[in-house]
Amino acid sequence: MPFPRESGILLHPTSLPGRHGIGDFGEAAFRFVDWLEAAGQKLWQVMPLGPTGFGDSPYAATSAFAGNPLLISLDWLAGDGLLDQQQVDVGSDLPADHVEFTAVASLKHGLLREAFDLFRRGAASHLRGEFDAFRVREKRWVDDFALFMAVKAAHDMRAWQDWDEPIKQRSSEAVASWTERLAPEIRFHTFVQFLFDRQWSELRRYANEKGIRLIGDIPIFVAEDSSDVWTNQHQFKLDEQGRPIEVAGVPPDPFAATGQRWGNPVYDWKAMRQDGYAWWVDRIRTALNQVDIVRIDHFRGFAAAWMVPGHDDVAINGYWEIAPGGEIFSAIRRALGDVPFIIEDLGVITPDVVSLREIFGFPGMNVLQFAFDGDPENVYLPHRYVRNSVVYTATHDNQTTVGWFASRSDAERENIQRYIGRDGSDIAWDMIRLALSSPANTSIVPLQDVLRLDDSARMNIPGSPYGNWSWRYHASQLDEALAHGLRLMTETYGRVSGNGAVRGENPWDYTVPGAAHPAVRAVE
């Protein structure tokens, strides 16, 4: 779906300021929306909002449907009568410029339990009807997620493959028995998801009323130790013990001689085809309840994905398996209509990926940091962009623009300076200007670049399992002058009015093309 000519900011809610050691859905989030409006921005892109797992990564969640409890505002709960002021005043000794996830989790999980205890004893009676309605509305996923979390706690947080055999295999008797046995704990996790949904929905409503749409993020694969895999074991390639037969990754390249073994279990497309890809339809439906636009990470996996034997430690022995992306997006289209997608189509993109993208009319991504290799035909240079695309100065996986420019060689910096026609002394805003002036309908800039920050503010270093995702800004950094300057530049390049949309029909019924590369196996 082509979008209007507009721009926005990439900022995960954990990076918002606040007094409880992590950004949340409280006052700072609403003030950030106000700042976006003042700056002429129409989009706010976030990373996946699920409960984080390994390495605190939002891209390794314990559920593709649930929300992260750490994002719930404690001050909001006090306003609801679920906590008192003395309780929410704790946490002021936690760092303000970065997140210490272990300390924050200890604080928030404890207070969420106290809030639930008060709710059980009659507090916040005005929320009971909303809670009951949420349980009914989200029953298709929240019951399984809450049971997963409760059983996991009863097994000392071990992975689900190490649980007692009957509940690991989800026998009907075991599910019924554990559901009855752990009813209070299940209700607690359901209540926490209700709080997340209530707060985020109100924040989204506020943003939409200000003319700002939310862009969410969906990783194509899910975590092995997740409620998604445990609940839908037959739809993943698992052995009898629930261990992955094959896992996701990428093949060897000049940067990784043995490839990358990501370790996510991979889908059994044949099994998913039998029910019309209902899990994917439901996943997108749930995402659209949270955000206005859905970004799909690793889109190429819908054309063909690199399958690695589950017992291998490296990815070199993998193979390409064709994926039924056309069938999946056709099923989504039939069920949900013309869903606004942005696709991450970076990396080694083969003709089948391009075909899938173009037939469905999805806007792909351009990243300015990939553009300056000296080749005037580099597809990431702005003069090569098509209108139906999205340009980023950088993504969450990149260096900040200031850090990136400082790390370039003299020859590379000269090439950049020549292309932008400036000396690079204000390189972050030079690149913002380049993105905003480009033909791409959508321009997204990480807040770190707006603030002209160096790599100390970097969000993630791919391949580094620890120490990521923790950056936060201070409220004083978003001032009126910064908003005014960004708005002027945004207006200059025609991105405030929202004009310039390109419309056209998309042929949604799509047949997956034949293999475009060697070592490919098709789904039978």
Q: Are 54 and 60 within 8 A, CB to CB?
A: yes
Instruction: Report the C-alpha gap between 276 and 188 in whole angstroms.
Output: 33
**Nearby residues of 487 by Cβ (< 8 Å), 6 or more positions away:** 38, 39, 40, 496
The residue count for the chain? 524
Instruction: Report the C-alpha gap between 509 and 360 in whole angstroms.
Output: 9
Annotated catalytic residue 397:
yes
Q: In what order do the strands lie in the sheet with 442-446?
A: 341-343, 293-297, 213-219, 43-45, 6-10, 442-446, 389-392, 364-367
Instruction: Report the C-alpha gap between 430 and 5 in whole angstroms.
Output: 20
State whether residue 204 is helix, strand or coil. Answer: helix
Annotated catalytic residue 268:
no
Angle made by CA atoms 163, 169, 171, in degrees to the nearest 5: 115
CA 264 to chain centre: 16
Instruction: Report the C-alpha gap between 285 and 426 in whole angstroms.
Output: 42
Q: Are 42 and 494 within 8 A, CB to CB?
A: no
Q: Are 417 and 424 within 8 A, CB to CB?
A: yes
Q: Are 499 and 51 within 8 A, CB to CB?
A: no
Q: How would you class 387 by CB atoms within 10 Å of its CB: exposed for 0-12, middle for 13-18, buried for 19 or more?
A: middle
Catalytic entry in 100, 185, 282, 297: 297
DSSP bridge partners of 364: 389
Structure tokens at 68: 């992260």
Catalytic entry in 100, 114, 312, 397: 397
**Comparing C-alpha atoms, which of 381, 390, 439 is closest to residue 415?**
381
| Helix axis angle, 410-420 to 427-437, nearest 10° | 50
Q: Are 479 and 427 within 8 A, CB to CB?
A: no
Structure tokens at 78: 């006090």
| Helix axis angle, 139-154 to 172-181, nearest 10° | 80
Instruction: Report the C-alpha gap between 140 and 370 in whole angstroms.
Output: 41
Q: Are 445 and 400 within 8 A, CB to CB?
A: no
Amino acid at residue number 258:
T
Q: Are 472 and 16 within 8 A, CB to CB?
A: yes
Catalytic entry in 144, 344, 345, 352: 344
Instruction: Report the C-alpha gap between 315 and 274 in whole angstroms.
Output: 29
Structure tokens at 394: 């950088």
The separation between the first and the last C-alpha atoms of the chain, rounded to the nearest angstrom, is 30
User: Which residues are annotated as catalytic?
Assistant: 297, 344, 397
